[in-house]
Structure 1
Amino acid sequence: MSAPPTPLLDPARWQRHLFRGRWEETAHGTTVIEPATGAPLTDVGLASADDVATSVQAAVAAQAEWLAVPPRERAEIFRRAASLFQQHFDELARMVARETGGVLFKGEHEVREAITLCHLAAGMPLQAQGQLLPSAPGRLSIAKRAPLGVIGVISPFNFPLILTLRTVAPALAAGNAVVVKPDVRTPVSGGFMLARVFEEAGLPAGLLHILPGGAEAGEALVTAPQVPMIAFTGSPAVGRRIGELAGRHLKKVSLELGGANALVILDDADLDVAASNAAWGAWLHQGQICMAANRILVHASQAAGLLERLVDKARHLPVGDGASGQVALGPLIDARQLQRVHGLVQDSVAAGARLLAGGSYEGLFYQPTVLSGVRPGMRVFDEEIFGPVASVITVDSEEEAITLANQNQGGLAAGVISASLARAMRVAGRLRQGMVHVNDQTVNDECVNPFGGPGIAGNGTSVGGPADWEEYTQWKWITVKEQATPYPF
């Protein structure tokens, strides 16, 4: 039997340190708290606005040198990174679970996706990166994909490894440098874990920077003149602020903000299957997913049966420390998030919703919750919940389901469940969401699909798969004549 690999993660590296291609001490630090236990997990460095400015300057210099690295050598770095994620799979998955409060299979999912993201990035440098355009005889006209330069990434706490790496890997592969400001609640999974992997994989120093920090650091990154693009995943309120700042500084911006997602269950659906889909879509990772099924729209003839099944699941799903591998739901990320979720539930019950299960908590562990009688005007209908709450809305027709599903400021994901594929496809075609899943729930993602949605879900752009070249490069037009010729002037 082979010996276990030497651990990749060493907390001493990031204790009061930042990563700029090498580990550098900083004057400030913060303690990361493990949500499930309330105990300190690790200490990390905390970046200031000056730290951001220093990193941006270093990234600009490193990016110019990165362009001179042959494509096959760049590709090999990502293959080595994928191998490191695989080699240290158990260690990394457990850290993701502990830091995010997720169940262990959620941490494992993030590491598996990280491996795939690295393999996809390894293929990018070897792909065609332009087109030969028609032009006059004697002149060569080329449209080429050119990297933007330095990409700023501000990533969230819920799926920090995936939602950081999905920009870092393709952006680097396309020829950019990247400066990451991970959420201070998950700086290891969303930052220093990537730093260690790419450090060991041989990424040239200065191309990747990891700078956990607060609003000051985030604003410094968004307004830095030498950062032409910001990729942000998070709340609509912060997304609006970033969009305003980026627009003022004429930057490209990719905003992925979630939204009020709808799962439509038609009157011919198998209720056991529908209830399973609804529970998974609403409660997976405690509902802290941008694609979570915030609204479950069910035909009146099926409502009682669906509610009975959801209540039974809510009462029997075990809640506890996700890293133990023995529970279905873990804790919410922190007390502020818990109080927001509880406030949404209490306000909606006060407005007339009926609490059938859950609605209570112990520590950061919020019980899976079922609300019936939900309607427009209630907070759980109008707002993204980001907690384990199944909000059930009863409808009398397909038309009413479509109308209510589309009654939002923009949606990221939707699902339709029906025994009739034709009916499900008809409804799906009228839903105004960026991603629609027929005979499936709303929480779906694969590394190769374009990911994004309109309105409050973001700014209409997509990341992932074929969208990555569009997102992290710009077209550059080049013409070549055999020799210069005179003009009439």
Structure 2
Amino acid sequence: MSVRNAREAQPSWGATPAAERGAALSAAAAAVRDRADELAKVLEEETGRPFESGREGVLAGAGTLAQYAELGPVHRGRSLHGSAGAADFMIPEPRGVVVALTPWNDPVAIACGLLGAALVTGNAVVHKPSERCPRTGRLLGEVLAAHFPPDVLQTVDGGGEVGAALAADPGVDVVAHVGSTATGRAIAGGSRAKLLLENGGNDPLVVDADVDPAWAAGQAALGAFTNAGQLCTSVERIYLHEAIAVPFLDALCGLAREWNADPQPLVDQRHADAVHAHVSEAVAAGAEVLVGGEPDGRHYPATVLTGCTPDMRVWTQETFGPVAPVRLVPSFEQALHEAAADEYGLAATVLTASMAHAQRAWRALPVGTVKVNAVFGGAPGGAAQPRRASGTGYGYGPELLDEMTTTKVVHLGQPG
């Protein structure tokens, strides 16, 4: 029913002047900003994300909506000049109906990116937020939908079976999914729509011998422990040059203890159990816990593991918790080689004072985003394009507008 309603509402919305669509999205962005406290409170109740951190995510989402409100109306094709009496035009048109399946770990910011890009380019959207934060998703949907015609934006509740049914609906033109690799693969196998998938990541952090170990430890802690490690681009494995191992680990352990003074709960007990399973298996296989490793219900402490090997699940899979697994390496070259030998391709970070090493790293690492000397950050409007098991298609940035549109080529000539 939701897809059919979206299909009926889309032609009129697609024919709405681009400037008017941008104005509607701008008003929606202002409404999200005005209700940031309310959204952050509901998010905290559902997922445990601290209020201030959640509010930052909501405001980031509002900023993304405002950005697309400006970019959408100037999104354009190009013209080609043929003979003196003819020209070709390449015109972007909305694809039609977009299904957006969004996760629980940063639900407002991620949803705003996908919904904003889809709506401003003239698509109708059916949004299914994660079943782990349904009230947050519904509230965001109510705030946004008030600024668009009926059925142009609909929010649907439900679990994986609902998402699968939406993705497989033949009336859907685009499926945009941010979530696990397993779910992404299932969607790819059952949908005929264009797919935009940002799935799991196993992001490495490479720490070179020539950096300040205390600073590098601060970057590692930020990347591994922020939002209790529940971010798509969290640091999941650390390759540490053995020349600075002692001061780096001392500093990282100290920072982990500071994080543990006020631990953030994980989203639910099921996820806490999954994180602990990774840690427990690693310890049984020979890893050593330097800090943390003992859960307290949903609260999982910032944990530092050493002695990790490439065959451990904490190393080969996305733990998605506040765990910093460390592997000592004798050289930068070995760190790069091992970091690249992974099925995922979301992002990677390299900390180095050597421009030559930085250049070698960004060329060698087969991921969509390489960050040099900063685990988080990036310019406003930046895009991301995951690879391999981490997904396909652009997410964020002006390039997402291209993904949400299709090109019509018009050859315009004169009658003979």
Tell me whether the two structures share a fold, i.e. TM-score over 0.5.
yes
Asked if residue 337 in structure 1 is aligned to residue 271 in structure 2, the reply is yes
1:305-341 Cα distance to aligned partner (Å, 9 max, x none): 211122222223246xxxxxxx4x4111112111111
Corresponding residue for residue 302 of structure 1: 244
1:137-166 Cα distance to aligned partner (Å, 9 max, x none): 433321111110000111111111111111
Counterpart of 1:428, as a letter, is W
Asked if residue 409 in structure 1 is aligned to residue 351 in structure 2, the reply is no
Equivalent residue in structure 2 for 1:279, among 198, 215, 221? 221
Asked if residue 183 in structure 1 is aligned to residue 130 in structure 2, the reply is yes
* TM-score after normalising by structure 1: 0.82
CA shift at 1:98, angstroms? 3.0
Asked if residue 258 in structure 1 is aligned to residue 200 in structure 2, the reply is yes
Corresponding residue for residue 51 of structure 1: none
Asked if residue 107 in structure 1 is aligned to residue 40 in structure 2, the reply is no
Asked if residue 437 in structure 1 is aligned to residue 378 in structure 2, the reply is no
Contact 2:14 2:121 in 1 (8 A): no
Corresponding residue for residue 196 of structure 1: 142
Counterpart mapping for 1:201-220 below 5 A: 202-220=147-165
Asked if residue 313 in structure 1 is aligned to residue 255 in structure 2, the reply is yes
Asked if residue 451 in structure 1 is aligned to residue 384 in structure 2, the reply is yes
Unaligned runs of 5+ in 2: none
Contact 2:381 2:396 in 1 (8 A): yes
Contact 1:124 1:174 in 2 (8 A): no
Counterpart mapping for 1:56-455 below 5 A: 56-189=3-136, 191-200=137-146, 202-246=147-191, 249=192, 251-318=193-260, 327=262, 329-441=263-375, 443-444=376-377, 448-455=381-388
Report the Cα distance in structure 2 between the residues aligned to 1:100 and 1:149, rounded to whole angstroms: 32
Equivalent residue in structure 1 for 2:396, among 464, 467, 470? 464
Unaligned runs of 5+ in 1: 1-53, 320-326
Report the Cα distance in structure 2 between the residues aligned to 1:230 and 1:351, rounded to whole angstroms: 40
CA shift at 1:447, angstroms? 5.3
Counterpart of 2:272, as a letter, is L
Corresponding residue for residue 45 of structure 1: none
Contact 2:198 2:395 in 1 (8 A): no
CA shift at 1:480, angstroms? 2.7
Contact 1:124 1:170 in 2 (8 A): no
Report the Cα distance in structure 2 between the residues aligned to 1:187 and 1:177, rounded to whole angstroms: 21
- Aligned residue for 1:365, secondary structure, equals coil
User: Whose Rg is larger?
Assistant: 1
**C-alpha root-mean-square deviation of aligned residues, in Å?**
1.6
Contact 1:453 1:462 in 2 (8 A): yes
Contact 2:62 2:112 in 1 (8 A): no
CA shift at 1:68, angstroms? 2.7
1:157-194 Cα distance to aligned partner (Å, 9 max, x none): 111111111110010001100001111111233x2232
Contact 2:125 2:154 in 1 (8 A): yes
Contact 1:278 1:293 in 2 (8 A): yes
Counterpart of 1:241, as a letter, is A
CA shift at 1:242, angstroms? 0.7
Report the Cα distance in structure 2 between the residues aligned to 1:71 and 1:408, rounded to whole angstroms: 42
CA shift at 1:128, angstroms? 4.4
1:127 to 1:374, Cα distance in 2 relative to 1, 3 A: same
Report the Cα distance in structure 2 between the residues aligned to 1:133 and 1:418, rounded to whole angstroms: 46
CA shift at 1:446, angstroms? 5.7
Report the Cα distance in structure 2 between the residues aligned to 1:83 and 1:103, rounded to whole angstroms: 23
Report the Cα distance in structure 2 between the residues aligned to 1:290 and 1:446, rounded to whole angstroms: 18
Contact 1:415 1:428 in 2 (8 A): no
Counterpart of 1:478, as a letter, is V
Report the Cα distance in structure 1 between the residues aligned to 2:363 and 2:117, rounded to whole angstroms: 31
Corresponding residue for residue 482 of structure 1: 414
CA shift at 1:233, angstroms? 0.7
- Aligned residue for 1:344, secondary structure, equals helix
Q: How many residues align?
A: 416
CA shift at 1:445, angstroms? 5.5
Contact 1:152 1:178 in 2 (8 A): yes
Contact 2:206 2:240 in 1 (8 A): yes
Counterpart of 2:41, as a letter, is R
CA shift at 1:215, angstroms? 2.5
Counterpart of 1:238, as a letter, is T
